[in-house]
Structure 1
Amino acid sequence: MPALKLNRPALLIVDVQVGLIHGPQQPYQRERLLATINQVIAQAHEAGAPILAVRHTGPAGSPIAQGSPFWQVAAELQLEGRDARLFDKQASSAFQGTDLEHWLKEAQVEDLVIVGLKTQYCVDSACRAAAQLGFKPVLVADGHSCMDTELLAAEVIIAHHNHTLHGPIARVVEAANLQF
């Protein structure tokens, strides 16, 4: 498959936080996921594309309340020296209650490359909201994950979302086929 050449791209890393990476339930293929996200971070940085991260902030007293250890962005992300911008959110959508949309429009971003956690919640919401706001979402097929649920294995949830979001909502591409 030829590389997908991006136009005025930015990278959006969704909820890769200590509480989700190291919590009681581990994301499906955690180590591979982190390696893939770091590969995409390096590609974006090398190309001079903006690197943005959002983290979910829970209510006071929750494990991911503002300032708590689980709320922090996972240290495994290779963001040091990458001039990454951080947005805090309190909803599933990375855009709701944040200035992410304004920032992206000011930067004239077209293609928004999306990676992170959890596939069926905040990653899905980021793809759908980005498309509704006029951006062109690019979901990294091997750059998002989740945990098993009572009904479905994480592997099935990921495959389902890659299939469902591809086409009308996002372009879905493996990290190896991205070209910032």
Structure 2
Amino acid sequence: MASPIALFVIDIQNDNTTDPKTRVRTADRIKDAGKTILQVARQTLDAYRTTKEASPPVLIIFVQHEDLPGKGTLAKDTEAWKLVFEPRAGVEEELLVQKTTRNTFETNPELAGMLKTRGVSEIVAFGIQSECCVESTCRGALQEGFDVTLLSGAHSTYDVEGKPAEEIEVEVEERLREIGVRVEPWEEVVARRWGAM
């Protein structure tokens, strides 16, 4: 039986995907990809929950950023802070993780140990923002000893100083490849890991 994969859904929140004033330009692409990725991963997870094999094929980790008071728009319990995709109630393989730093593992020092206890050796990540929390969490996962895959086409960010989000996405992917992160199109990973879409 293969080890479970931890699928990290990073900071896909109302502020950066639904609010017309603050959403990233590429938000619809990320939401569409996220919907499909989660649908297929959950189908695989639900099949496991029916048969209860030795270990689940995937754990889904929903990461939610929270700004400290007066430090940003993602204040806890605000509409901007709410997640677009949330863990399903009663599904112990879907977990919510809060963070206040870019690196999910920095805010949650017990997270790596918990995942390893559950048999996880690989993290697959997607979400927003590419050069901030997505990149930092991928780096943090590597530092904790996990194999890491970034889902190309399923992460993005804001256009910055004339540089389009798509260019920043590529730059992040290049930096992460250099340190050992696998970067693969999300469609290929989903089809290979969790069956046809």
What's 2:175 paired with?
A: 164
Give the whole-Å Cα distance in 1 for the aligned partners of 2:25 and 2:182: 22
Structure 1 pair 38/81, CA: closer, same or farther in 2 (3 Å)? farther
Residue identity opposite 2:9 in structure 1: I
Give the whole-Å Cα distance in 2 for the aligned partners of 1:78 and 1:132: 27
Percent sequence identity over aligned pairs: 24
Secondary structure of residue in 2 paired with 1:50: strand
Give the whole-Å Cα distance in 1 for the aligned partners of 2:6 and 2:149: 10
Q: Which has the higher helix share?
A: 2
**How much is the aligned-residue C-alpha RMSD, in angstroms?**
2.0
Mapping of residues 7-26 of structure 1, within 5 Å: 7-23=3-19, 24-26=21-23
| Native 8 Å contact 2:34 2:154 kept in 1 | yes
Structure 1 pair 16/136, CA: closer, same or farther in 2 (3 Å)? same
Which 5+ residue runs of structure 2 have no aligned equivalent?
A: 46-57
TM-score by length of 1: 0.87
Give the whole-Å Cα distance in 1 for the aligned partners of 2:171 and 2:97: 28
How far 1:59 sits from its partner (Å)?
1.3
Give the whole-Å Cα distance in 2 for the aligned partners of 1:116 and 1:82: 24
Mapping of residues 56-95 of structure 1, within 5 Å: 56-61=65-70, 62-74=72-84, 77=85, 79-80=87-88, 83=91, 84-95=94-105
Which 5+ residue runs of structure 1 have no aligned equivalent?
A: 1-5
- Report Cα offsets for 1:140-168 as digits up to 9, x if no partner: 00110101011521111001112221253
